[in-house]
C-alpha cells in the first residue's frame, strides 16, 4: 500500500520530472514501507520530508529559468528534447536538471518563433507593405513571452501552501481506495458546498 501511495504521490508532485532529482526520489523511497504507519498514527514524516524537498527544488528551478532566458538561444545547433513525461527519467544532478530546463525553454521559445514567422509569411502573401521582422527579433520577443509565462507559473507554485500540498498527499491515499473519493481542504470544501447548494452562510446571515 505504501509503495503505491508513494508512486502516485510522486507522479502528482512532479509529473514533468522538472523539479525532483533522482537522489530526492531515493530519499523519499526510504518511506515506501512506512506511509501506512504514518496514516494510522497521524504522523507526517514522509509528507514533511517531501514538502521540504519540493519547496527547495522549486526555488532552484526558479533560478534556472531566469538565468537561461536571459540570453538568446542558438537554433543552429542540432538538439532533441523529449516531450513525453512518461519516457523521462529523473535527473541525476542539478546540472542535468538545469540542462533539461534549458531544452524545454528552448523548445517553448522555438514554438513561438515558428508561429510568429508563419503568421508573418501569411501576412506577407496578402500585402507587400508588411514590416518584416528578423529571426533574432522574433527570438527575443518569444523569449520574453516564455519568461512571462514561467513567471506566472512559478507565482502560482509559490502560492501553494502546506494545505494545498497536503491535499495532493491525501488524494494520493484516497485515490487507491476509490477514484471517486476526494479530499477537500477546508477552504476548497467550503467553495464546493457553495457551488453545489448555491448558499453562502456567514456572520449569522444567509445569502
Q: Per-residue pLDDT for the chain (207 aa), expressed as one digit of tens each?
A: 999 999 999 999 999 999 999 999 999 999 999 999 999 999 999 999 999 999 999 999 999 999 999 999 999 999 999 989 889 999 999 999 999 999 999 999 999 999 999 999 999 888 888 888 999 999 999 999 999 999 999 999 999 999 999 999 999 999 888 878 888 777 777 777 777 777 776 666 655
pLDDT at 207 (0 to 100):
57
Residues 6 or more apart in contact with residue 197 via CB below 8 angstroms? none
C-alpha cell at 121: 509569411
The pLDDT assigned to 111 comes to 96
Q: What local confidence, expressed as pLDDT, does residue 139 receive?
A: 96
pLDDT of residue 22: 97
What was the pLDDT predicted at 177? 84
Looking at residue 206, what is its pLDDT?
56
| CA distance between the termini of the chain | 44
**Count of C-beta atoms within a 10 Å radius of residue 63:** 11
User: Do residues 97 and 91 lie in contact, with contact meaning Cβ atoms separated by under 8 Å?
Assistant: yes
Amino acid at each position: 500500500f505504501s509503495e503505491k501511495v508513494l508512486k502516485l504521490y510522486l507522479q502528482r508532485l512532479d509529473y514533468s520530472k522538472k523539479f525532483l532529482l533522482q537522489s530526492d526520489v531515493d530519499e523519499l523511497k526510504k518511506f515506501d514501507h512506512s506511509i501506512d504507519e504514518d496514516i494510522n498514527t497521524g504522523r507526517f514524516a514522509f509528507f514533511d520530508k517531501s514538502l521540504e524537498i519540493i519547496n527547495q527544488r522549486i526555488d532552484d528551478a526558479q533560478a534556472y529559468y531566469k538565468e537561461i532566458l536571459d540570453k538568446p538561444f542558438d537554433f543552429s545547433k542540432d538538439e532533441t528534447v523529449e516531450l513525453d513525461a512518461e519516457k523521462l527519467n529523473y535527473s541525476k544532478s542539478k546540472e542535468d536538471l538545469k540542462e533539461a530546463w534549458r531544452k524545454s525553454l528552448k523548445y517553448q521559445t522555438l514554438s513561438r518563433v515558428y508561429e510568429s514567422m508563419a503568421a508573418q509569411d501569411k501576412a506577407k502573401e496578402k500585402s507587400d507593405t508588411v514590416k518584416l521582422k528578423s529571426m533574432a527579433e522574433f527570438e527575443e520577443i518569444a523569449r520574453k513571452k516564455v519568461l512571462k509565462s514561467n513567471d506566472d507559473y512559478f507565482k502560482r507554485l509559490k502560492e501553494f501552501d502546506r494545505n494545498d500540498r497536503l491535499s495532493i498527499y491525501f488524494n494520493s491515499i484516497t485515490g487507491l481506495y476509490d477514484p471517486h473519493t476526494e479530499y477537500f481542504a477546508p477552504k476548497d470544501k467550503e467553495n464546493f458546498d457553495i457551488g453545489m447548494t448555491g448558499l453562502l452562510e456567514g456572520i449569522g446571515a444567509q445569502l
